[in-house]
Amino acid sequence: MAGTNGNGTAADFIEVGEGGDARRIALALQPPAPGNALAHLVWLGGYRSDMSGTKAVELAGLAGRLGTACVRFDYSGHGASGGAFTDGTISRWLAETLAVIDHAARTLGSRRLVLVGSSMGGWIALRAVAALAARKDVEVAGLVLIAPAPDFTSELIEPNLTEAERAALAERGQFEEPTPYGPDPNIYTLKLIEDGRRNRVLDGVIETGCPVHILQGMADPDVPYAHAVRLMEHLSGDDVVLTMIRDGDHRLSRPQDIAKILEAAEAFARGQ
């Protein structure tokens, strides 16, 4: 099933999973200009975000200006995709990410890409690049990680659980937490937390095989900037740039923040 979104980009759905686990994943594929050989851009959103957010749309705009392709999609339980949000785990959303990357490679005819991951999307980008490296059929030209939150379930959530939240996880399998980013609370499930432990990346050297640019706000209330520094230490074998934005928050969606993000993405797309 195909259509168009508000930006005129082709909108489509792919099916991921089998049987009762099947879910429809919404994606927007923006094709490259004829003959364009730049790496295409793949957007990986954060927890409860979708492909219509400011940074995702700005990335698509950059791709249009460069003449390269752009891939945006919604994880299951997010945006226009099917599936229940409470079924979501890092493993599940990673599988969907890899399915979208493969679909895009076949459709666009390009197997060289830049992964741009925001918050949780940064964690998924790190897991995805490892999976793609093992397969050797897709080349990742660079990673742009925006306020990355690798291992956030075990590093940022579990240590700070209240007794009431621990009880809710044990009794109901989930707990809710107010968020300043919308009227509905964040929901964290026991299955997300347990699966997060199996997807840890901050327990050894992380080898991406490509250059990495991390952008982190020092006024981020959700992911402390020390977390980005720690991530950089684990990326000890890669060419890594860490840009600290002194007054930047978690979203990094101000024009001056987005300019830095797009500059990093463009450099990797051009192979610089």
Model confidence over 180-239: pLDDT tens digits? 887 889 999 999 999 999 999 999 999 999 999 999 999 999 999 999 999 999 998 889
Identify the CATH number of the domain defined by range 2-269. 3.40.50.1820
Q: What is the pTM of this model?
A: 0.95
Beta strands 70-73 and 23-30, pairing class: antiparallel
**% of the chain residues with pLDDT over 70:** 96
Residue 1: per-residue pLDDT: 39
Which of 5, 92, 165, 100 is CA-nearest to residue 84?
A: 92
For residue 2, pLDDT over 60 is answered with no
Q: Please tell me the distance from the alpha carbon of residue 105 to that of residue 118, in angstroms, as a whole number.
A: 22
C-alpha angle with apex 141: 138 to 146, nearest 5 degrees?
115
Residue 112: per-residue pLDDT: 96
Per domain, the residue ranges of the chain are: 2-269
Q: What is the pLDDT of residues 19-57, one digit of tens each?
A: 999 999 999 999 999 999 999 999 999 999 999 999 999
